[in-house]
Amino acid sequence: MSIFNKEPFLIAEIGVNYYDIAKKMNISNMDAAKLMVKEAKDSGCGAVKFQSYKANTIASKNSPAYWDLNEEPTTSQYELFKKFDQFGSEEYHEIAKYCDSIGIMFLSTPFDFESVEYLDEFMSVYKISSSDLTNIPFIKVIARKNKPIIISTGASTTKEISEAIRAIEDEDNRDIGIMHCVLSYPTDYEDANLLMIKNLKNLYPEYDIGYSDHTKPDDEMLVLTTAYLNGAKIIEKHFTLDKTLKGNDHYHAMDPSDVKKFFKNIEFIRSINGQYDKVPLDCEGAARIQARRSIVAKRDMDVGEIIDVNDLTFKRPGSGISPSKIDLVLGREVKVRICEDDLLDFNMFK
C-alpha cells in the first residue's frame, strides 16, 4: 500500500505561517497563503498542509502558556491559537481549488470535529497531529471518512501508536501513513532519532512510514535526506518564505531553496544507487580486461613439452586465458615455441 505515487513525497507544512508573510508583504492572508502554495509547488513539493481549528475548540481559555515562549511569548495556548484562527471552510475551500488549479495536493490538519466535516468535501487525505494521537474518539471519526490517514507520533509510546492504528483499523480503514516525529521546537539534531523510522518500518511493515521534522534546516538538508535513506516515504516539514520572521513555525521551517537542496540530494542518491542486479558495467569494460590476470609462461617452453603448474604464473592484462581455466591448460602438449612472459593462448597447445 502506498498513499502517494511519488517517493519521497514532500509535504510543505505552511500551517499558519501565511499570517506573518501577509503582514511582512502587506498583502491579504489569502494572497499570502496562495503565494506560499505557489512557491511550494515551484520548488518541488508534492503537497501543502495547513491547520484547521478555532481557538475555542482546541484549547481552554484557562490553558497555561504555550510551552515554547522563545518565539511566541503568549500568556496562554488559547491566546496563541486565537491569533491564527481566521480561516474556515470557505477560505480553505478556496485554497484547495487553487492548489488543484496549479497541480499540488491540498492538505489541512483538522483539530476539531467541525474541521473534519468540512475538509471532507475537498480533501483526499487526512493528517492527524501528534497532539491527537491519544484522542481515540476523534481518530475514529476521521477513520470513518474512509480516506487515507497520515498520523504523527511525536511524544508517544509504541503502545499509544498501536492503539491509534487499531482505532483506524477497527473502522475498516487500512490506508495509513505513520510519521516519526519529535514534539520539540526546534528539535536538536541529537534528538532527531532518525533510526526510529526503521523501528516503525519493522513494527508496521504493511504501512507507509514517514518523518515529520522540527529541526532547524541544516545547510545541506542532511536531516531530511537521512530520513529518506532510513526509509521515510513521506516527509513533512514546516515551510516559510522567510526563516528570520518571528513566530513559532518560521525559525525551524524550510524555505524554497531548502526544498531544492533536498531534491538535489535525492537526485544524487538515485544516480549513485544505480541498478540492483550485480553485473559488469560499461564503464568497467577496459578495467575488466586490463586489471585482471591471464595465465603467463614462467619460462621458455619448447614444442612437445607437457605443461606443468610450475611452468605457469598469472599476470596482467586479462586478455589471455583466465586463471580460472588453468585445468584446461595443465597437461597439454606445447605445439609452438613459448617464451617466458608470453600470455598463453589455446592455439599454443595440442
Across 49-66, average pLDDT: 78
Of the candidates 212, 216, 211, which has an alpha carbon nearest to the alpha carbon of residue 253? 216
For residue 70, the model assigns a pLDDT of 60
Please say whether the beta carbons of 99 and 48 come within 8 A. Answer: yes
Q: Give pLDDT, residue 247.
A: 80
Rounded Cα gap, residues 19 and 247, in angstroms:
10
Cα–Cα–Cα angle for 334, 337, 341, nearest 5°? 100
Q: In the chain, which ranges are continuous DSSP H helix? A: 18-25, 29-43, 55-58, 77-82, 89-102, 113-119, 136-143, 158-169, 195-203, 222-229, 256-273, 285-290
Statement: residue 310 has pLDDT above 70: yes
Query: pTM for the whole thing?
Result: 0.90
- Work out the average pLDDT over 58-68: 66
Range with the lowest mean pLDDT among 72-86, 184-198, 240-254, 326-340? 72-86
Quick one: fold of 9-273? TIM Barrel (3.20.20)
Q: Where in the chain is CATH 3.90.1210.10?
A: 282-348
Q: Per-residue pLDDT for 199 more than 90?
A: yes
Q: What is the pLDDT of residues 89-133, one digit of tens each?
A: 999 999 999 999 999 999 999 999 999 999 999 999 999 999 999
b (16+ CB within 10 A) / e for 88-102: eeeebbebbebbeee
| Rounded distance between C-alpha atoms, residue 121 and residue 152, angstroms | 23
The predicted structure's pLDDT at residue 252: 95
Structure confidence at residue 74 (pLDDT): 64
Strands 312-315 vs 294-297: parallel, antiparallel or unpaired? antiparallel
Helix (H, G, I), strand (E, B) or coil at 7: coil
The C-alpha atoms of residue 215 and residue 190 are separated, in whole angstroms, by 10
pLDDT value, residue 73 = 60
CATH classification (class only), 282-348: alpha beta
Pair type for strands 176-181 and 105-110 = unpaired
CATH 3.20.20.70 intervals, the chain: 9-273
Evaluate if residue 66 carries a pLDDT over 60: no
